[in-house]
Structure 1
């Protein structure tokens, strides 16, 4: 029997935006997103790739072609879930509801269904905290009416930058940093560009753009810029700005900057900061030269070297 946990909106957002060579949504056993709201609510709008769970009488009908035993992330949502406790349906209530009924689901429907799923998978089952209402208010651009996704459509899906600090810091690549829709949707107000390329935004405003030109190579030196980078990011957070930190592919230099900032801001070890960023962005991979400089940064931040490089698992 699997465990049941809450999934925060930011976690689901990041799950949707993971990438290897292609978006991870293309992987058949990566994400199963299940919507237990009424048919009319689902048809009006739902989270991209979500499948509607029908109910016949008191029995939930698991969507066809879902192999729960192999799915890494199984996430269930209703309108607004704030507790993992289930409100049990009264035995005297009508249980003749058809599988396509528009009847409003009972409070706790996501949890009720989630507990059923824990008996069918070896992976944890997640309940989206705040449900569709909260998620769609934060990420309105991930609402859709589309029901069927063809493999080629998932291949062409354009992921957004992952979220590091909710609503404040995003981590992405150069292409995402040049995309006007992404800037608008995420309300980006400042850029940290850690690449040799010149981006499209804030070019004439040094208060909103910090461009550190270094190559993604073992010889590249980022250490001289770390204090300035941390100051720039911290100042924009105080101002309430939303910041996008990016490099060419968004997996090496920009990740190193994020890790360095978290170490500085939270006075925490390289290992802890690394693990946090790794959870947000599965394919992060700062090169070994940057890792060595982060180990030296740990000495500066904490006064000693604490992290063993073998702790930083790729």
Structure 2
């Protein structure tokens, strides 16, 4: 499913539905209150250090206050996204259980946000990395986590398959 402002809107102004309760987009679309309201978004996960959150709705406008979480990472292979994968996946799942809908976004909606959504599908959808990524790619063709995030997703998958609780994947401490 694709939600756009108008039938002629380009994909730069859209939210891509990965599941009924989970969407992915770029920062521009994430800051469009009309799109957020149309999709019923109640939780936003901003996977960036610099991209803005959407403006708060005016009283009596829109769907009310949304919960916003920032994951402060740059889209660099050396960045450590791993420690954030489980907390983000669990926040998405908790929102789903409450009947809410989550939007995960980063600047372009193709690397950081894709890695977080893929991790959610692996952890709570019990999908392999390959299957989870293909599911995301099928609705967001530009999906392409950088090589560092891809390595961290491979480590995350290995931890999930071993039944160990994923912790600090991608950490440089040792």
How far did 1:198 drift? 3.0
1:84 is matched with: none
Q: Distance in 2 between matches of 1:271 and 1:224?
A: 21
2:143 is matched with: 284
How far did 1:142 drift? 5.4
Q: Name the TM-score, length of structure 1 as normaliser.
A: 0.46
Structure 2 residue 32 is the aligned partner of structure 1 residue 173: no
Specify every segment of 5 or more residues in structure 2 that has no aligned partner in the other structure, as ranges.
57-65, 164-174
Q: Which has the higher contact order (CA 8 A, sep 6+)?
A: 2
1:258 is matched with: 117
**Secondary structure in 1 matching 2:78:** coil
How far did 1:164 drift? 0.5
How far did 1:159 drift? 3.3
How far did 1:253 drift? 0.2
Deviations 1:58-91 (A, max 9, x none): xxxxxxxxxxxxxxxxxxxxxxxxxxxxxxxxxx
Runs of 4+ in 1 over 4 A off after TM superposition: 154-158
- 45, 49, 52: which one aligns with 1:198: 52
Q: Distance in 2 between matches of 1:280 and 1:156?
A: 15
Check conservation: 1:267, 1:302, Cα contact below 8 A.
no
Check conservation: 1:163, 1:169, Cα contact below 8 A.
yes
2:92 is matched with: 233
- 35, 38, 60: which one aligns with 1:185: 38
Q: Name the TM-score, length of structure 2 as normaliser.
A: 0.80
Q: Distance in 1 between matches of 2:159 and 2:123?
A: 9
Residues 157 and 244 (structure 1 numbering): CA distance in 2 closer, same or farther, change over 3 Å?
closer
**Secondary structure in 1 matching 2:18:** strand
How far did 1:161 drift? 1.1
**Secondary structure in 1 matching 2:92:** helix
Q: Distance in 1 between matches of 2:10 and 2:80?
A: 35
Residues 188 and 289 (structure 1 numbering): CA distance in 2 closer, same or farther, change over 3 Å?
same
Number of aligned residue pairs: 154
Equivalences for residues 62-101 of structure 1 within 5 A:
none
CA RMSD, aligned part only? 2.4
